[in-house]
Structure 1
Amino acid sequence: MYALQDVPGKGKGLVAIEKISKGTRILSEEAVVTVNESVGSERLRTSICKQVEALGENQRRDFLSMHNIHPYRNAAEQYLGIFRTNSLLAEAKNWNEKIKRHTVHALKDINKGEEITIIYLAPLKNRKARQKALQKKFDFTYLCHLCSLPLEQSQESDKRLEEIHRLDDVIDQLGTEGILVSPLRTLRYFDQQVRLYNEQGREDVGFAQAFVNAAQLVIANSDLARGRIFAERAASVWKTTLGGDSTPAIKHGALAQDPSKYELFGVSTKWKTKVDEAPQGLEPSDFEDWLWRREKPKALGQLANLRSRATFPGFTDLPDENDADQEFYKRSNIEIKDINGITIPLYFYTDSRGNELAPRQVQKGYTVAILYVKRHAFIFYEPGIRHKDPQTIKVL
């Protein structure tokens, strides 16, 4: 599957000698030294020292050959330094309690000849912060795919990761209120996180947790149909990242079978559905709109639906005054197609909210030209174009 080879500019590394499919278990190893992270430094040193001294000759020799960036004055400090330098897999949460082993899985397809890399730190940091932390903790500069992106792509990636982290903070602040009082707003945050992870092109524990959170939210509000689907998606990501025999994959697979087993099921009956009430025959995009309870706003010139929560949200679904986002309010939009025929929403954030375009200009088949256009990830809608300057748009 892989071999230890020289990697240009990096030294030795594991390189795939055949294509490795996403979700494949690459490594499965017993722990040589285990510790309780909550113990004090002195007890930690003592525990590690005893375990290393108890190793067989070959294992102990292998342990002592590992890299150590920490200075030491005696054997106990040497053992501790080696442990601190190399105990990264525990941080990556790859411990499989069922089989009592560390496991590493392919988070994407790995092509033949491609280096196999692992996560040293939680990815929710920008590139500069990651490099600084890695230099401090492991004394090297990391050159994985994420850290090697061209500057513009790296900056876009950093923005996505920082937004995911910001949304985590917002969700944490909402607490129980976010589940029971303003569930629709909270679901929108989870929706946005999943979209950002998809744009990031990676599946990891954070991606799985977003689906877990969404499942718990809707089940607490008695929505078993959506709860089952979110739990299935969470289990699928856990299976990819940690293996089908991991505790999270098994737990959420069982939850998908019977979402009513969740301890907070039925705390609210606001969204009550039966487990088999998911709609059938929808287009994928329409199904996602149903799943995430997205309500598309009316286009320019159309009458508003007075029952639509997208147009007239409830009080608890309004943004907090300290976290207000103008995209919550400025929602006039039209749909356009790009050169590839893909339909894209164009939202107007101008002072006139799109009314600067005369109705005769907003006609099917007309060409819309926009200068300096960029993609935008919205919290409440699918990704599209966020248009602010009326001077940079022309309808022909």
Structure 2
Amino acid sequence: MTTTHPLFQITAIPNSGLGAVATAPITRGTLLISEAALFLLTADFLTTAAANAGIAAKLRTLSPPQLHAFLALTNAHTADTTHPFAGIVRTNALPCGVDAVECGVFLTCSRFNHSCNPNANYCWNEKTRQEVVHAVKDIAAGEQISVSYLDEEATNYPRAQRQQRLKKDFGFECRCSVCSGDAAAVAASDGRRSEVGRLDALVGGGRLMMGSPQKALGCCKRMLALLGEEGIQDVSLYRTYYDAFQICVAHGDLARAAVLARLGVAVKVACHGSEAVEDELWTYIRSPEKHRLASMSRRWATKVGDAKEIGSEGFEEWLWARAR
């Protein structure tokens, strides 16, 4: 089976079933697809005993070609012979946003294969009520397009734990470039990811931000370096920039806060598209003082006009001058 789209085709991938392969060079930030759901479900359809009956009702609304395409999707839960429809949905459904109460089944978006170092990112666009996939790296023609099936926490697990999660939830052993490296490469990757998880927990707790902001900023700087070493260019970068933004804005450093907001928004636009960027994030680029944490302390007081231009000589040193 081969299905062609403007920038990629869905085709057979050795040892991986069907997957998406780029048919032309794709640049970071490119929208690959915006797809309406075949059908939407409330999240409890994945766990309740009534799941199969509820999903069957949805399937009766589909055309014969749509039903055939749904039944052709992978079911990683074949051991549960009582609920085959629910198994397909559990394997392929995508959440409709953060903390979503709905999930959707998408015939094309469900065909993107997993990588622990993906070159694309999918997310729900609430404005269009569609699932969108953007390239988060430059992708060469003939290269497979991959997304991550793991949540933020599991992304930072060591290889063995990631494999366990993927096997349990999706029924496959990951053979991506990160997981198939030699022992030394896997150990180095595990170390970087574990350290990102540890630092993220330190910063996310909030106490470090107010009690030792220099150290908190240092954690952010280190996370960005580790993510760079891993080759990760997805929303993990945005979350780290936003943490650093909050640290600076809380202590009155509006110059660095404005720059960090701009860097974070640039990542989010590349990963999610400009439509998905919340209005307040654009506001923080111009007026970081409008953030709820602004100037809880004045220890680092600066003005937005004091900011150094991104990419200018000495920019990185200036941006992280307060980190330790």
Fold equivalence (TM over 0.5): yes
Task: Measure how far apart 1:133 and its partner are.
Answer: 1.5
- 1:245 is aligned, of 255, 258, 275, to 275
Q: Residue 95 of structure 1: which of 111, 118, 124 is its match?
A: 124
Q: Deviations over 1:266-318 (max 9, x none)?
A: 2211111111102469964x3222212247xxxxxxxxxxxxxxxxxxxxxxx
Establish whether residue 63 from structure 1 lines up as the match of residue 70 from structure 2: yes
Give distance in 2, aligned partners of 1:65 and 1:241.
29
The amino acid that maps onto 1:24 is T
Q: Paired residue for 1:231?
A: 261
- Report how far residue 224 of structure 1 moved: 0.9
How far apart are residue 33 of structure 1 and its match? Answer: 3.3
Match of 1:257 among 283, 286, 297: 286
Secondary structure at the aligned position of 2:275 is classed as coil
In structure 1, which of residues 29, 41, 44 is the aligned counterpart of residue 47 of structure 2? 41
Query: Which residue is 1:214 aligned to?
Result: 244
Contact persistence 1:89–1:120 (CA under 8 A): no
Give, as a single letter, the amino acid of the residue that structure 1 aligns with 2:271: T
Count of residue pairs the alignment pairs up: 290
- Residue 178 of structure 2 is aligned with which of 129, 134, 146? 146
Residue in 1 aligned with 2:104?
Answer: none
Equivalent position to 1:158, from 190, 193, 217: 190
The answer to whether the 8 A contact 2:259-2:310 is kept is no
CA contact (8 A) 1:20 1:110 kept: yes
Task: Quote the Cα distance in structure 2 between the aligned partners of 1:136 and 1:41.
Answer: 15
Q: In 1, Cα distance between the equivalents of 2:27 and 2:81?
A: 45
Identity among equivalent pairs (%) = 31
Indicate how the Cα distance of structure 1 residues 269 and 135 shifts in structure 2: closer, same or farther if over 3 A, else same: same
Q: Which residue matches 2:145?
A: 116
1:10 matched residue in structure 2: 16
Corresponding residue for 2:316? 288
CA contact (8 A) 2:9 2:23 kept: yes
1 CA distance for matches of 2:66 and 2:310? 58
Runs of 4+ in 1 over 4 A off after TM superposition: 88-93, 280-284
Distance in 1 between residues matched to 2:49 and 2:40, nearest whole Å: 13
Alignment check: 8 A CA contact 1:26 1:105 kept: yes
Deviations 1:97-134 (A, max 9, x none): 12211111111111111111111113212222112221
Q: 1:246 to 1:138 in 2, by over 3 A?
A: same
Q: Do 1:235 and 1:253's aligned partners in 2 also have CA atoms closer than 8 Å?
A: yes
Aligned counterpart, 2:108: none
Partner SS for 2:48: helix
Conserved 8 A contact 1:96-1:247: no
Structure 2 counterpart SS, 1:42: coil
Q: Aligned-residue CA RMSD in angstroms?
A: 2.6
TM value normalised by structure 2: 0.80
Deviations 1:303-362 (A, max 9, x none): xxxxxxxxxxxxxxxxxxxxxxxxxxxxxxxxxxxxxxxxxxxxxxxxxxxxxxxxxxxx
Note if 1:134 corresponds to 2:166: yes
Pair 1:178-2:184 in alignment? no
Equivalent in the alignment of 1:29: 35
TM-score, structure 1 normalization: 0.67
Q: Report the alpha carbon displacement of residue 211 of structure 1 after superposing the two structures with TM.
A: 0.4
Distance 2:65 2:74 in 1: 17
Question: 1 or 2 for the larger relative contact order (CA 8 Å, sep ≥6)?
Answer: 2
Cα gap change, 1:234/1:268 in structure 2, threshold over 3 Å: closer, same or farther?
same
CA distance in 1, matches of 2:204, 2:268: 22
**Contact kept in structure 1, 2:27 and 2:135, CA below 8 Å:** yes
Distance verdict in 2 for CA 1:280–1:172, change over 3 Å: closer
Please tell me the residue identity of whatever aligns with 1:222. G
In structure 1, stretches of 5+ residues that fail to align are 296-379, 381-396
Match in the other structure for 1:84 = 90
Deviation by residue 1:67-89 (Cα, 9 ceiling, x = unmatched) = 11223455xx2221111111257
| Matched AA of 2:172 | F
CA distance 1:281–1:190, shift in 2 (3 Å): closer
Matched, 1:189 2:219: yes
Larger of the two Rg values belongs to structure: 1
Partner of 1:338: none
